[in-house]
Amino acid sequence: MSQTSKPTFFELLRQSLQDVEGGYDLLAPKFDQSPYVTPDFILHPFFERIKKEERNFKNGIDICSGTGAASVDLVNICSEKFTALDLSQGMLDQCEKKINATHPSTPLSFVKGDALDMPFQDEFDVAVSFGAFGHILEKDQTKFIQQIHKVLKTGGVFYFVTTEKLPWWSWSLWKARIFNWVIHVRNLIYSPKFIMYYLTFRLPEVKHQFEAVGFQVEVLDDVNFQIHGDQVIDLMALKYFKMVKAVKR
Ligand SMILES: C[S@@+](CC[C@H](N)C(=O)[O-])C[C@H]1O[C@@H](n2cnc3c(N)ncnc32)[C@H](O)[C@@H]1O
């Protein structure tokens, strides 16, 4: 089977029976063909908005980079150094391959590590993270935010995307709740646990959590993630997606 084919149902099932690190190690070669990779219709407006700020970022980090969906954009706005950090060596290897293929002029570093215990201090001007908040248990959210605060320089910025509360009639809300119940039951009866819960790290609560840790937080309401017709395809329109900017005070 070619490396670029989609993961099969049984491969996804096997992956879901591992812990987070082992699961992503297995999925890594086909992750970009899976539905879990962050799509361009999120990444494109996100990085366009960052560019509009016309800031000179020297040193940047993609936290939980995975195979580097966002890294390829972030590396282009960092003038001195780029770092990708992820728990899974398999995902990092794919990320390294992908970024090297773009021949960036910025020095690169690929670090296998835990976002809840990052080996950096006051180092980065800019940080991003996509697709990983569901892997952080609610009890660890403050610790995660403290880690982001620790690795940024004063004045450094963490940009991310989340949603507000979804209306009760949203199909995505019920899909996410059903997924969470299934994972909850799976983790009760099976070990190792696979930590992945939707509907976490959301506005307005997460804004208050960032502020309590020492960030100045702005929801960038001028960024629009909607694509034509998405209300019809999915009752959770992309209008609920919000780009957030958190500056380390
Ligand atoms: C759904 S993937 C998202 C990858 C990529 N950022 C994207 O948007 O396509 C989640 C990634 O988070 C990583 N991850 C999960 N928990 C982590 C943790 N505590 N520390 C570092 N990486 C973590 C996983 O290994 C995986 O590569």
Q: Which residues line ligand 1 (CB under 6 A)?
A: 20, 24, 36-38, 64-66, 69-70, 86-88, 91, 114-116, 130-132, 135
- Bridge partners (DSSP) listed for residue 217: 246
User: Using CA positions, which residue lies closest to atom 27 of ligand 1?
Assistant: 66
Domains plus CATH for the chain? Answer: 37-248 (3.40.50.150)
Which residue puts its alpha carbon closest to atom 10 of ligand 1?
Answer: 132
Closest CA relative to residue 244, chosen from 143, 130, 168: 130
Q: Which atom of ligand 1 is nearest to the CA of 88?
A: 25
Nearest residue to 183 via CA among 198, 169, 205: 198
Atom of ligand 1 nearest to the CA of 65: 6
pTM for this prediction: 0.93
CA distances, 92 to each of 32, 58, 63, 64, 110 (Å): 13, 22, 11, 9, 7
Mutate to test the pocket of ligand 1, among 72, 86, 128 (most ligand atoms within 8 A of CB): 86
Q: Which of 32, 49, 1, 26 is nearest to 224 (CA)?
A: 49
Spacing, Cα 115 to ligand 1 middle (Å): 9
pLDDT tens for each residue of the chain, 249 residues long: 345 688 888 888 888 888 999 999 999 999 999 989 999 989 999 999 999 998 989 999 999 999 999 999 999 999 999 999 999 999 999 999 999 999 889 999 999 999 999 999 999 999 999 999 999 999 999 999 999 999 999 999 999 999 988 888 888 888 899 999 999 999 999 999 999 999 899 999 999 999 999 999 999 999 988 776 555 455 555 778 899 999 999
